DNA sequence: ATACCCATGTAAAAAGTTACATGATTAG
DNA sequence: CTAATCATGTAACTTTTTACATGGGTAT
């Protein structure tokens, strides 16, 4: 039952930024974190329970609880635990890419099908780029920039660079497929 | 997100390329496929069993079985099943990137730690690039290029483009962190 | 003979998603 | 009043990894 992977740290990480409920935390994973990390309620609530059990977080008694909300606050022990994780080397990236898998297994006779997949991906990536650009605008035009902004910018830069690379790959691949006909 | 059930198709995909044993298939996932897909024995052997049960593969009786090897061969039904999957739209990519997660949660006081992570990543990516370059050389200098080569080249191109993008991001980020001191 | 790969397979644990149950509060 | 949304939580399920058990073949 004790979660030992990154989920606990991902949740704890959100708590380093403020006092939040499970529901709030989920919104983080559906928002700015969405492009490189996500967790479901089925992970978040047990993780919070476990964090409290291990003394890394406590239920915060805010004066006015809206609805049945339970807010959680990180403890000094939790902060230490988190910063230890932060400086630890990262594990191997377990990357699974369905599009790559299909392209790899495709034969020349599947060209049209693959071209269709590329076209679709092109659309998705274009949408993603718009989201990134908007997030970038939102970050830059902030009156009171928070001290963490530079780090957010770094992750945003990655989103943009990696998406551009994949976009370029799709275009080049479509180009190549068109020349084959 | 989109539950894959992709394991069966990944294994079936390998069988579209030839007659292989579970052990052989594992080697595929540790080799050329490694950069975008992998499966463990704990997935492969049950998947083969299931593929046979559903009539998508059969145990091939090769004249000489080396050791206790069992070779599997795709059936026409399996081929059809596979090609149907190939043309189906891909599910949402469930991407989890521990480095991004750490960068996102880092504060300005963690800069040195983050720089260390970037430096390490830089090394990993440089190694990865060498592997890609070597694979590229191996593919190009083939006397008898197989008909699937163009598709392999496409996946290889992606490896190179995406790794270059991440490499660039690491360098830019380190650069930026150095300027902050 | 003894080590060391080759090779198959499974059990158990861990990680993660999905679907549902429950109830409070707010907007129209 | 009613529908939508906010919010917590869990049970069941699927997916995936890890560790182990087993035994044949090969080279020294």
CA distance B75 to chain A (A): 16
- Strand C contacted by B2 CB (< 7 A): yes
Q: Confirm whether A28 is domain-assigned.
A: yes
The predicted structure's pLDDT at residue A160: 98
Q: Can you list the positions of beta strands (E) in chain A?
A: 57-60, 71-74
The whole-number pLDDT of residue A14 equals 98
Q: Are A44 and A111 found together in one domain?
A: no
Instruction: Name the A residues in 52-71 with CB < 8 Å from any B CB.
Output: none
Contact call for B107 and A161, based on CB within 8 A = no
Distance from CA of B13 to the nearest CA of A (A): 6
What local confidence, expressed as pLDDT, does residue A2 receive? 47
The two structure tokens encoding residue B34? 């490694």
Domain for residue B160, yes or no? yes
Asked whether the beta carbons of residue B152 and residue A104 sit closer than 8 angstroms, the reply is: yes
Q: Are residues B130 and B57 in the same domain?
A: no
**Does the model's pTM come out above 0.85?**
yes
Spatial CA neighbour of B102 closest among B88, B120, B80, B90 = B120
Q: State which of A52, A87, A122 marks the end of a domain.
A: A87
β pairing state of A71-74 and B57-60: unpaired
- Specify the pLDDT at position B2: 28
Residues B69 and B107 in one domain: no
Low-confidence ranges of chain A (pLDDT < 70): 1-4, 62-67, 181
Chain A partners within 8 Å of B90 (Cβ): 98-99, 102, 117, 120-121
The answer to whether B132 touches B170, Cβ cutoff 8 Å, is no
Contacts of B148 (CB under 8 A, 6+ apart): A107, A108, B17
Q: How many domains does chain B have?
A: 2
Residues B162 and B114 in one domain: yes
Comparing alpha-carbon positions, the chain A residue that sits nearest to B13 is A105
Q: Among the three residues A56, A87, A118, which one is the final residue of a domain in this structure? A: A87
For chain B, list residues with pLDDT below 70. 1-4, 62-67, 181
For residue A92, being part of any structural domain is answered with no
Same domain, A76 and A10: yes
Q: Which domain holds residue A144?
A: 98-179
Q: pLDDT (tens digit, 9 = 90+) per residue, B43-54?
A: 999 999 999 999
- Asked if the Cβ–Cβ distance from A151 to B10 is below 8 Å, we say no
Asked if B175 and B102 sit in the same domain, the reply is yes
> Residue A82 maps to which CATH number?
1.10.10.10
B159 touches strand C (CB under 7 A): no
B21 lies in the same domain as B78: yes
Would you say A44 and A72 are in contact if contact means Cβ atoms under 8 Å apart? no
Name residues whose C-beta falls within 8 Å of residue B39's C-beta, 6 or more positions apart in sequence.
B7, B10, B11, B25, B26, B29, B47
Contact B95 A95 (CB under 8 A): yes
| CA-based end-to-end distance of chain A | 56
Task: Give the CA-trace dihedral at B43, B65, B147, A121, to 10 degrees.
Answer: 0
Residue-wise DSSP of B49-61: HHHHHTTSEEEE-
Q: pLDDT tens across A5-52, in order? A: 899 999 999 999 999 999 999 999 999 999 999 999 999 999 999 999
A119: exposed, middle or buried (Cβ count in 10 Å: 0-12, 13-18, 19+): exposed
**Which residues of B are less than 8 Å from A93 in CB distance?**
97-99
| CA-based nearest distance B118→chain A, Å | 10
How many whole angstroms separate alpha carbon B33 and alpha carbon B155? 9
Are residues A110 and A158 located together in one domain of the fold? yes
- For residues B83 and B33, membership in a common domain is answered with yes
C-alpha distance from B162 to closest chain A C-alpha (Å): 6
Domain's final residue, options A33, A68, A87: A87
Chain A contact set for B147 (CB, 8 A): 107-108
* Domain identity same for A10 and A81: yes
| A70 touches A59 (CB < 8 A) | yes
Which residue from A56, A52, A49 is spatially nearest to A80, judged by alpha carbons?
A56
Residues B108, B165: one domain?
A: yes
What does the alpha-carbon distance between residue B32 and residue B14 come to, in Å, rounded to a whole number?
A: 11
Is A117–B90 a contact, with Cβ atoms under 8 angstroms apart? yes
Take residue A4 and report the two structure tokens written for it.
């030992």
Task: Specify which residue's alpha carbon is closest to the C1' of nucleotide D9.
Answer: A45
Closest CA to B112 of B36, B181, B161: B181
Residue B92 lies in a domain: no
Work out if A21's Cβ lies within 7 angstroms of strand C.
no
Instruction: Give the list of residues 6+ apart from residue A134 with CB closer than 8 angstroms, or none.
Output: none
The pLDDT of residue B45: 97
B1 part of a folded domain = no
Is the minimum distance from the CB of B40 to strand D below 7 Å?
Answer: yes
Under DSSP, the state recorded for A148 is T
Same domain? For B115 and B169 the reply is yes
Residue A1 lies in a domain: no
Distance CA B101, CA B87 (A): 33
């Amino acid at each position: 039952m004790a979660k030992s992977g990154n989920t606990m740290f991902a949740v704890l990480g959100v708590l380093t930024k403020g006092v939040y409920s499970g529901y709030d935390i989920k919104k983080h994973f559906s928002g700015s974190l969405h492009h490189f990390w996500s967790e479901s309620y089925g992970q978040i609530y047990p993780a919070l329970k476990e964090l409290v059990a291990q003394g890394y977080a406590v239920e915060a008694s805010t004066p006015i609880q809206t609805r049945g909300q339970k807010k959680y606050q990180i403890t000094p022990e939790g902060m230490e635990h988190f910063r230890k994780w932060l400086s630890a080397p990262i594990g191997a990236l377990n990357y699974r890419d369905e599009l790559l898998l299909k392209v790899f297994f495709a034969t020349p006779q599947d060209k049209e099908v693959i071209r269709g997949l590329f076209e679709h991906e092109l659309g998705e990536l274009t949408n993603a780029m718009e989201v990134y650009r908007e997030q970038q605008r939102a970050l830059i035009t902030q009156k009171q920039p928070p001290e963490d902004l530079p780090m957010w910018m770094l992750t945003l830069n990655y989103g943009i660079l990696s998406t551009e690379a994949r976009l370029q790959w799709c275009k080049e691949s479509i180009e190549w497929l068109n020349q084959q006909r």
